[in-house]
Amino acid sequence: MKKSLIFLVCLFYSIGTLFAQDFTASGVVVDESGEEVIGATVVLKGTTTGVATGIDGDFKIKVPHGSTLVFSMVGMKTVERKAADNMRVVMTSDVAALDEVVVTGYGAVKKGSFTGSASVINTESLQDVPTVSLDVKLAGASSGVTVSNASGQPGGVESMRIRGAGSIMASNEPLYVVDGVPLNTTNVSEFTYSQSGASSLSTLNMNDVESITIIKDAGAAAMYGSRAANGVVVIKTKSGRMGKTSVSFRANWGFSNMAIDYRPTLGGDARRELLYYGLENYAKIRGESDPKAFADKNINTFAEKPWSGWADWRDILIKNGSQGNYEASIQTGSEAFNAFSSLAYTKLEGLTAQSGFERFAGRLNTSFTGVRNLRIDVNTTFSRTNQDTYSEGTSYASPIMAIGFTASPQDFPYNEDGTLNRTKKFPLLNSGSANPLSAIEYTSSKNKMTRILGSVGAKYDIYDGLYVKEMLSNDYLHSDQTVWWGPQSNDGRTANGNLQVIPTSQQTFTSQTHLGYIKTFNEVHNIDGLVGYETEKYHYSYVYGSGQGFPNPSKNTLDAATTTSSSGGYEDRRLLSYLAVANYNYNETYYLGANIRRDGSSKFSRNKRWGNFWSLSGSWRLTNENFMEITKQYIQDARIRASYGVNGNLPTNNYDFLSTYTYGNIYAGEQGSIPTKFGNPNLTWEKNQSWNFGLDLSFLNRFNLTLDLYNRKTTDLLVPLAISQTTGFASYNINMGEIRNKGVEVSLRSNNITTNDFTWNTILNLSHNSNKILKLDGERDRMQLGYSNRLMHEVGQPFSMLYALEYAGVDPETGQEQFFKNQGENPRETTTNPAEAKSVLLKKVDPTLSGGLINNLSYKGFDFGFTFTFSLGGHLYDNAAMNWLNTDGGANMFRGNVPKSYDLNKIWKKPGDNAKLPNFYYGNSNQVSSRYMHSTNHLRLKNATLGYNVPRNLLNGSGLSNVRFFASGVNLLTFKSKNLVVDPEIPTSVTNGIGSYGSVMMETPPLRTFTFGVDISF
Amino acid sequence: MKKIKYLFSAAFLSIILASCSAGWLDVTPGDKEEEDLVVYDLASAKIALRGMYYMIKGSSNYTTYYAADMIYYGDVHGDQMMATGESGRGLWAYEMDYTGTSGADNMWQIPYKVINIANKLIEKMEAGEANGATAEQVNNIIAQCRMGRALAHFDLLRVYSNFYDPDALGVPIVTKPEQWSYLPARNTVGEVFNKLIVPDLEYAIANMASSNGNGYFSKWTAMGLLARAYQYQGMDKEALATALSLINDKANPHSLLTNEKYATDFNSGFSPENLFIIMITGTTDYTDRPGIAYLCNPDGYADIAISENLYNLFEDKYSDDVRKQLLIADEYPGPEAYFGGLKVFVNKYKPNLGESNIMIANIPIMRLSETYLIAAESAFKTGDKQTAADMLNKIILRGNPNAKTETASSISLDRILQERAVELFGEGHRYFDLVRNDMDIVRYTSSEDQGWNLNLQSYATSFNRKFYKAILPIPISEINSNVNIVQNPGY
């Protein structure tokens, strides 16, 4: 009965071929790697009759004998084949195509049938970009995505924001899924001496990555439930391809320096002249009878030319970094088996002797397809990394702080006899032992990571589109961290050497069990869906050991210490999920998708543990409608999309719901326990409700436009509510408050020129996000989070607003700083008395508009690609300038470096002067004002690659299939405001997260790197 | 083929069922203990008790109580010591600049943490959670908690209120573990003294053991603090009586160090003079670099030093006094040494015997010599000048057996306070002594007498206890989170 019904409907739809003699053509469509192509369109040539391939790449279509089938898929070259039984059609990818495959982790679909909002990044063009960090590669490549680094030190933690930040206490980082497995991407570093942290993402060799899909809207992200609030980054690594075995080698070498002129300072003579003026001026103000004599007497305390001449600490401490990268990969494939394997070695040296990153990474991805109905995928990767970092922040040992602030031209590095200067110069470093060179020579901070990540997946086709899939994975991440302060260093001096070691291990075991169904009914009703069950089990453990007293400083292991102490512990967390996904489309014109997921997390108490997350989405392909036929020559493809979804975010800590005591609080040599957490048993998920409306347009055979509008509202925000400290605690974690992010994203791609010899295409990505606090704790309109006094969070305003007095320039009469009152009857009146002025919310940290402009050109064997990134409307606050550097003669200016912006000609000297800089004298003080707030507007040539492929005819007979030479660089050019002496890409603090966002101190700026390389395949 | 199919289905189901058991999502924190499970016997109660001492002692994370701030606040806020600015740590209290993220914020938080720890343990002890402990043992622990609670309330009053005025705004009294929504108002100074400090200390004196070991409170610590508390309230009769009963009690194992041993044994755990000493035994329990020992040491942060006026007092009148030995110089050779190599750094927190690490140093918090000085001052104020002279002479002669002593007719309040300054410098007393006695705090008046003082804002050069900055503002975090708290005037 059923069969006849289908037949009837078929008749109805294939009316044009009613009288031909039909048979059923069938087969499977695979790509070069032997992977099934899902959703490829199979059309009878000359008609619009067609079907889409199923989850196994399979298709069945009733066609007349002798007819031709056209196989097409966005992102792949169209293939024509004679219709037959049991066809095996291989489609190859079309690099130049304007559309691509969206990998959601719950299946790969072509973008045309994806109802959510996602960006697909082709990593091939980014392979040559010399960096180990993913964020540098991704900068500008996708709209709605901003990336940053905590520090320019290699191997440091990266940060990605998809459509703004919606969380205060929970993470704002997206979920990373690699080959279907959610990846642990925590900062591995236990120490905070360096601000860079240690990125666990840096263990991955990014050149193993085939594609990156960034899922931005809740419609698709809700599949990942409680972890998907900030979007999902789905990474697919390379796999073996059917056909000839190929081997390739690549190597590149290069060097690095700072991407910007970081906090330039005055040279010795100019500094001395300025400080002399400051002393003389001070003596005048103080009423000394002979100001010149006073200045003469005191100037050498601050600016005495040393025996060696003025010291240039930039030259002494900072060197050019270097980079080398060597890798080999092999890929092969047959009907029953395919494999991809790679081995890579990377070595980066940072800007000082104690900064570097080394990685040895291997991968083997295999799949077995020999047994009928069964497919087994085994992916394994291992890596060893070795990261060296120097101290940052306000540590005396920081070389970055030394060049910008603490080591002035009068502080000489070496004595005349060649020994290290350990006199009491270095007044800002507390003592001569703090000569920054002693930190570089006698201290180190190392982090060695080992990661073994493996997954085994099996998929079995049970019957007629019904399949079961099981995947198990284990991620083992071990880290050995060692901080050594030799007895000769300032940090290790008093303890006669200090060693700290922390071995940690993190293990994540996940299982995914899916029962799925995919089927096309009546050739036009395409359905697919799955129900599944997933678990995640995470275990973390650490041991901390420290030793003091090293009689032999060259032996720095714990057993060589005179006294040692240790501590340790572990944490667990678990996640249990049930999910169901269903998609339906009618004739590839109307799409509907729904998914629901139920997550249980060990991070909450028993009755708050379970949460439901869901989404609905749909899209309409207008160009499939008859009425669009007339516009076909202008508009090739048009689609509108909409989605709504609810997903969640978990707290960062594992046990916030429990009131707990910790041990290890030793008193008088004995164990003590103290309450450390005021647990909230009612704590639960942060929830995101997001709308997304999208439009995809391919027009004029050249342009491809994607436009998205979104509105993401985060409720039940996890907030560290400040409570009365009389309770013994400063904060209590609670769900309250709301933040909204809404915005527009535009991505326009254009094939400017396509000829046989020359191609040029351009991609422009633009994003605008506006962020607003809707509610804080319900009572207060404003609050600060305690990490930074420069940020004020106010209802109705963007989350990160800079807060200070509003600077109104130099008072021409007194030469003092003046401020707008911003209170009382005349708020725009100025005053030199800070008590009469009121601090106000000034500017937002986040940019109004940011984006990237990518161009790819190729001419014969040459190719040239470059990416510009830019940002408009954002601001930062220079805390270091306010506290120490730009204080118009404050004590720290005399004791350390003076910023280059100080120019005697610009300083106020007498009443009536309309000066740029206030009066300058010893002991002057300044105020927290907008004077130190700067725009982060900038344009940056983020990366550029020039390559040359040796023509094939020259390679004939050599056995080589491809030889390519290339030169590539990152952060090559930066255009920014002159007043901004730090990097415009605001670093995201590893320790304070969003709480101190927008304030800068002494962070290492990003590296500018150039490399040259060669890539050989045979 | 079918077999495989069933196998898969069976595996699918079994994995679901196996992991589905209700307890799978219950995890226990490996490096923490749930609050309800912390105390179950005497030993575990003692561990929790040590947590209170740990919080009083502080750590590199909790520096704002006796780890450093509470001690130097009483010194550099006064007229005889100063912050050098070398590491910038003591500057806020010296310059009286309480804005920003200085210690002014956290001197509020840590004492309340001590109070919270004490209250939680008192509740557990009263509920009989320490199975097997005798009533005496239970009371001894409760007594130590109440002593710690009294000390914390007392210190909060010293820092945040005009403690000499019973009607002035004090601090909230907290006597039990409170909920997160607790928003107390400030009690008056008198209420804090009469409802909390005095009863807690009286309970402690009645119930605490004569010794709980080095580094722990004893009955005698409670008596010493009670004498001090009365003195701060201006209740001289009670202060004198309490001080004398401590000094004269036959059972009291404490005595003044001899002149010979004073300098060497000053912060030794075996010194009989210490009524309470914070014991630091190694790197597991030290307070690291932010601790007072490293702050004071010229080889450490060199952040705190005595002012020229105190230096001159030692040079002029105490040149042969043993107490001068507790000042040291920066030993760096040549003119680069701090203060030209003069002995201006406090050496009361010198490394423990045989220890070379300058951060491993015991911190005396209450010494019997202070009790003598309390007795002397209170006796003087109540008119008993003979007792005042007797008590003071003990301290004078211990410092220098050949020094000129005082008699009932020669003794004066200034003389007593001078001796206090010499005996207790660097231990966090001087500022409060001046405030108690309503004396002006004069750092300098002109560049002639500026000495080694840094250039200060004019209000900080000379002020008295009525100046609003004489007490700290209630931290803005407390004001913001607690609508019932009233800010100190002027802020």
Mean pLDDT of A961-969: 91
Chain A residues whose beta carbon lies within 8 Å of the beta carbon of residue B294: 494
Q: Tell me what percent of the residues of chain B surpass a pLDDT of 90.
A: 77
Which residues of B fall within a CB distance of 8 Å from A658? Answer: 29, 32, 34-35
Mean pLDDT of A705-726: 91
| Arithmetic mean of pLDDT, A943-949 | 92
Helices B103-126 and B135-160: crossing angle in degrees, nearest 10, is 160
* B215 neighbourhood in chain A, CB within 8 Å: 667-668
CA A628 – CA A700 distance, rounded (Å): 14
| Residues of chain B contacting A728 with CB distance shorter than 8 Å | 112-113, 115-117, 177
Residues of chain A found within 8 Å of residue B15, distances taken between Cβ atoms: 470, 511, 513, 533
Tokens 């800590």 belong to residue: A653
pLDDT higher than 60, residue A338:
yes
Order of strands across the sheet with A806-810?
A806-810, A817-820, A830-831
Residue B76 has pLDDT above 80, yes or no: yes
**At residue B118, does pLDDT exceed 80?**
yes
Q: Is A958 exposed, middle or buried (0-12, 13-18, 19+ CB in 10 A)?
A: exposed
Give mean pLDDT, residues B147-167: 97
**Do B218 and B363 form a contact (C-beta atoms < 8 A)?**
no
Between A374, A462, A668, which is nearest B281 by CB? Answer: A668
Greatest mean pLDDT range, A125-134, A652-661, B405-414: B405-414
Which among B11, B108, B179 has CB closest to A725? B108
Angle (deg, nearest 10), helices B42-57 and B103-126: 170
Instruction: Indicate whether B58 pLDDT > 50.
Output: yes
Contacts of B218 in chain A (CB under 8 A): none
Q: What's the rounded Cα separation, in Å, for the pair A195 and A190? A: 11
What pTM did the predictor assign? 0.84
Residue B334 pLDDT class (50, 70, 90 cuts): low
Q: Which residues of chain A lie closer than 8 angstroms to B87, CB-CB?
A: 430
Question: What is the band of B1 on the pLDDT scale with cuts at 50, 70, 90?
Answer: very low
Hey, of A288, A678, A725, A1001, which one would you mutate to test binding to chain B, going by the most B CBs within 10 A of its CB?
A: A725
Q: Which of B14, B114, B284, B486 to mutate to test the interface with A (most CBs of A within 10 A)?
A: B284
Across the interface, do B279 and A460 touch by the CB < 8 Å criterion? no
Is 90 exceeded by the pLDDT of residue B15? Answer: no
Mean local confidence (pLDDT), A745-754: 91
The pLDDT of residue A792: 86
The confidence band for B20, taking pLDDT boundaries of 50, 70 and 90, is low
Residue A485 has φ and ψ, to the nearest 5°, of -120, 105
How far is residue A400's CA from residue A395's CA, in Å, rounded to a whole number?
10
Is A498 within 8 Å of A548 (Cβ atoms)?
A: yes
Task: Label residue B333 exposed, middle or buried (CB < 10 Å: 0-12, 13-18, 19+).
Answer: exposed
Percent of chain B residues past pLDDT 70, beyond the cut = 93
Tell me if residue B121 falls in helix, strand or coil.
helix
| Pair type for strands B327-329 and B81-83 | unpaired
pLDDT of residue A469: 93
Record: contact B8-A655, CB cut-off 8 A: no
Q: Between chains, do B33 and A571 touch, taking CB under 8 Å as contact?
A: no
pLDDT per residue as tens digits for the range A486-512: 998 888 888 899 999 999 999 999 999
- Give the residue among A649, A538, A563 at the shortest CA–CA distance from A228: A649
pLDDT at A1: 32
Min Cα distance B359 → chain A (Å) is 8
For chain A, give the mean pLDDT: 87
For A739, list phi and psi in degrees, rounded to 5: -130, 140
Q: Check: CB of residue A37 under 8 Å from CB of residue A57.
A: yes
pLDDT at A11: 34
B138: tokens are: 């239970």
What per-residue confidence (pLDDT) applies to A7? 33
- Mean pLDDT within B7-22: 52
Cβ neighbours of A670 in B, within 8 Å? 50
Report CA-CA distances (Å) from A541 to A182, A545, B263: 20, 14, 46
Residue A807 confidence class, pLDDT cut points 50, 70, 90:
very high
pLDDT at residue A105, rounded to an integer? 62
Tokens matching residue A1004: 């290492």
**Does A727 sit within 8 Å of B182, measured CB to CB?**
yes
Query: Six-digit token pair at B354?
Result: 């045989």
Structure token digits, residue A357: 């990153």
With pLDDT > 90 as the criterion, what percentage of chain A qualifies? Answer: 51
Greater model confidence, B111 or A134: B111
Nearest to A546 among B216, B283, B332 (CB): B283
The 10s digit of each residue's pLDDT in B183-218 is: 999 999 999 999 999 999 999 999 999 999 999 999
Nearest CB among B19, B57, B478 relative to A724 is that of B478
Top pLDDT among A427 and B359 is at B359
The mean pLDDT value of chain B amounts to: 91
Task: Copy the structure tokens of residue A782.
Answer: 């404003």
Most confident residue range from A4-18, A458-472, A552-566, B420-434: B420-434
pLDDT of residue A169: 77
Out of A53-67, A769-783, B71-85, B284-298, pick the least confident: A53-67
pLDDT at A153: 85
Residues of A in contact with B358 (CB under 8 A): 494
A154 band by pLDDT with thresholds 50, 70 and 90? confident
Compute φ and ψ for A111, nearest 5 degrees.
Answer: -60, -30
Using alpha carbons, select from A184, A295, A265, A418 the residue that is nearest to residue A884: A265
**Nearest CB to B172; choose among A569, A576, A726:** A726
Q: How far apart are CA A399 and CA A376, in angstroms?
A: 51
Specify the range with the lowest mean pLDDT, choosing from A136-140, A370-374, B268-272. Answer: A136-140
Q: How confident is the model at residue A17 (pLDDT cuts 50, 70, 90)?
A: very low
For an interface test with B, the pick among A682, A683, A724 (most B C-beta atoms closer than 10 Å) comes out as A724
In sign, the C-alpha dihedral spanning B284, B287, B293, B297 is positive
Contacts of A669 in chain B (CB under 8 A): 279, 281-282, 284-285
Among chain B residues, CA nearest to A541 = B30
CA distance A373 to chain B (A): 9
How many Å separate Cα A118 from the centre of its chain? 16
A784: nearest CA partner in chain B: B477
Q: Which of B29, B101, B216 sits opposite A660 (nearest CB)?
A: B29
**So what's the pLDDT on residue A4?**
32
Q: What is the distance between the alpha carbons of residues A563 and A704, in angstroms, rounded to a whole number?
A: 67
Contact B182 A569 (CB under 8 A): no
Average pLDDT over residues A804-814: 94
Kindly state the average pLDDT of the residues A230-238.
90
Partners of residue B356 in chain A, C-beta under 8 Å = 496, 549
pLDDT the model gives residue B103: 60
Residue with tokens 């009689």: A551
Q: Do B117 and A786 touch (CB under 8 A)?
A: no
Tell me whether strands B81-83 and B343-346 are parallel, antiparallel or unpaired. unpaired
Residue contact B16–A563, C-beta within 8 A: no
Distance from CA of B293 to the nearest CA of A (A): 12
> Token pair of B399, please?
């410092």
- pLDDT tens-place string over residues A26-50: 888 877 656 677 778 888 877 767 7
Rounded to an integer, the average pLDDT of A450-476 is: 93
Q: Give the best residue of A726, A877, A929 to mutate against chain B (max B CB count within 10 A).
A: A726
Which chain B residues touch A424 with a CB distance below 8 Å? Answer: 332, 336-338
pLDDT (mean) for A795-824: 93
More confident residue, B63 or A97: B63
Q: What is the pLDDT of residues A190-215, one digit of tens each?
A: 888 888 888 888 888 888 988 888 88
Interface test with B, best of A304, A546, A665 (most B CBs within 10 A): A665
pLDDT category, A98, cuts 50, 70, 90?
very low
Question: Which of B36, B47, B296 would best serve as a mutation to test chain A binding (most A beta carbons within 10 A)?
Answer: B47
- Across the interface, do A549 and B300 touch by the CB < 8 Å criterion? no
pLDDT at residue A15, as a whole number: 33
pLDDT for A867 equals: 93
Q: Specify the range with the lowest mean pLDDT, choosing from A125-139, A310-324, A677-691.
A: A125-139
Letter for the amino acid at A975?
F
B283 contacts on A by Cβ (under 8 Å): 495, 546, 548, 563, 565
Cβ contacts from A onto B, under 8 A: 242
- The model's pLDDT over A654-688, given as tens digits with 9 standing for 90+, comes to 999 999 999 989 999 999 999 999 999 999 999 99
* Residues B198, A545: Cα–Cα separation, whole Å: 44
State residue A404's pLDDT score.
93
pLDDT of residue A848 exceeding 70 = yes
Chain A's closest residue to B111, CA to CA, is A728
**A895-923 per-position pLDDT tens digit:** 899 999 999 999 999 999 999 999 999 87
